Amino acid sequence: MSAPVSVLVTARDEEAQLPGALASVVGWAAETLVVVDPRSTDRTAEIARAAGAVVLAHAYTSSAAQCNWGLERCAHDWVFVLDADERATPALGDAIGRTLAAPGHAAYEVRRTNLAFGRRLQFGDWGADRIVRLLDRRRARFEERAVHGAVLAPSVGRLEGTIEHHTLRSLSQYAAKLHDYARRGAEELVGGGRRATVIGAAARAEWRFVRAFVFRLGFLDGGAGFVVAVLGAYGTFLKWAAVWDATTRRHSVS
């Protein structure tokens, strides 16, 4: 029996990952709405329609902005947000149905397990991940930041079940995402008046690696844990080096 909930997925060029995401919510979602960036060049929209989803096109500026636009167009007030590279477990669908029978909060967070190279990570920065994904759109919205906008809600509960996040499938696939996150994160920092030095960028990157690999025990995830820690440090350096580049060039021109 379907719960009174809409599933919202935002996607651009996700023909390979989208079928798995949509299949994971079949049977318990009353509506599935896919917001597609019109710049998609693959079969994302076609695949979504074939799966029975409502498909709307909206130009991408940020993940949070895309989600907020989609929230306004869902058929139900309760919305579960799922990325194309994520999968909802059956236990999560059951938990959402039970929760919506008598909801006590404006939003709910769920545990997300992150996979790198097909291996489930248990430690490091990606080992203990909880993220707000079920929300009452009348009382909760996404904070519109350049990268990873948080959900703003008056109260947040917890759901049973998990989301599987197939985020790092190969180095070539993840590198493009990493560079995009660094660029957009740097633009937001510069817009907020932040500055950086090369030494500062390197220090932040070093701390990011040590925190993930040593203090958060990423080494226990073996080779995958090491690569994820290195990539996290690399992305941090790229972001702050881009801040340094943008602000020093502005200063020299003026």
Render pLDDT for 31-65 as a digit per residue (tens, 0 to 9): 999 999 999 999 999 999 999 999 999 999 889 99
Tokens of 200: 């500062």
Closest CA to 25 of 79, 62, 69: 79
Closest CA to 239 of 148, 170, 172: 148
Q: Is residue 160 domain-shared with residue 176, that is, in the same domain?
A: no
Reply yes or no on whether the pLDDT at 250 is more than 70: no
Position 145 scores a pLDDT of 79
Q: How long, in residues, is the chain?
A: 254
Position 90 scores a pLDDT of 93
For CA atoms 190, 194, 199, 202, the dihedral sign is: negative
Q: Is residue 111 domain-shared with residue 156, that is, in the same domain?
A: yes
Q: Is residue 150 domain-shared with residue 184, that is, in the same domain?
A: no
Instruction: Give the pLDDT confidence of 6-17 residue by residue, as tens digits.
Output: 999 999 999 999
Distance CA 98, CA 162 (A): 15
Position 121 scores a pLDDT of 97
Position 254 scores a pLDDT of 43
Task: Please state the domain count of the chain.
Answer: 2
Q: Is residue 99 domain-shared with residue 158, that is, in the same domain?
A: yes
Q: Is residue 149 domain-shared with residue 179, that is, in the same domain?
A: no
Q: Is residue 90 domain-shared with residue 201, that is, in the same domain?
A: no
Position 128 scores a pLDDT of 75
Tokens of 118: 């097909």
Q: Is residue 105 domain-shared with residue 213, that is, in the same domain?
A: no
Position 1 scores a pLDDT of 54
Q: Is residue 226 domain-shared with residue 211, that is, in the same domain?
A: yes
Determine the residue type at 235: G
Using the 3D structure, point to which of 168, 190, 220 is the last residue of a domain. Answer: 168
For residue 61, give the H/E element and its range.
none
Using the 3D structure, point to which of 133, 168, 203 is the last residue of a domain. Answer: 168
- Domain range spanning residue 242? 171-253
Instruction: Give the pLDDT confidence of 132-179 residue by residue, as tens digits.
Output: 999 999 999 999 877 777 999 999 999 999 999 999 999 999 999 999
Position 147 scores a pLDDT of 75
Average pLDDT over residues 91-102: 95
Q: Is residue 156 domain-shared with residue 176, that is, in the same domain?
A: no
Instruction: Give the pLDDT confidence of 196-244 residue by residue, as tens digits.
Output: 999 999 999 999 999 999 999 999 999 999 999 999 999 999 999 999 9
Using the 3D structure, point to which of 118, 135, 168 is the last residue of a domain. Answer: 168
Distance CA 244, CA 17 (A): 35
% of the chain exceeding 90 in pLDDT: 91
% of the chain exceeding 70 in pLDDT: 98
